[in-house]
Amino acid sequence: MLVENEIGKEIVNCALNVHKSLGPGLLESTYQACLAYELHSAGLLVQKEVALPVIYKDVKLECGYRIDLWVNNKVIIEVKAVDALNDIHLAQILTYLKLTDNRLGFLINFNVPRIKNGIRRVVNNL
């Protein structure tokens, strides 16, 4: 069974492959689908657009949150195709990590000339 850091290395490699093949300038949904395909091809369990309820005072509330990609139920990926990542994107993935009790996530912005500048590893210290 893979641990989070091993999964993270595979995520970065797959993101590099997608960006190398497609480059910047496409829709977020395109990158999400291609990254899911790469991760699945690498032997990882990938779930797309996973509904994420909020538990408030023991009540499960469907608030419309969706995890872009959830890998092996351990690592969350938030896919972006924006001019720049900002604080709201970081807050979003930190919230998803907390709500799922996961430790590791990646913000990946494919709308950059060099993908290494678009990958941000995010750790929730629970």
pLDDT at 55 (0 to 100): 81
State which residues form the domain around 105.
4-123
Q: What's the whole-number average pLDDT of the chain?
A: 94
Which are the contacts of 92, defined by CB distance < 8 A and separation ≥ 6?
78
Hey, what amino acid is at 103? R
- pLDDT surpasses 70 at 126: no
Q: What percent of the chain has pLDDT over 70?
A: 98
CA distance 116 to 126: 26
pLDDT at 100 (0 to 100): 93
CA distance 18 to 2: 22
pLDDT at 107 (0 to 100): 98
Q: Which residues pair with 75 in a beta bridge?
A: 71, 104
CA distance 94 to 96: 5
pLDDT in tens, 69-92: 999 999 999 999 999 999 999 999
pLDDT in tens, 41-72: 999 999 999 999 888 888 888 887 899 999 99
- pLDDT surpasses 90 at 110: yes
Question: How many domains is the chain partitioned into structurally?
Answer: 1
Rounded mean pLDDT, 5-14: 97
pLDDT at 54 (0 to 100): 83
Sheet holding 75-80, edge to edge: 46-56, 59-71, 75-80, 104-109, 119-123
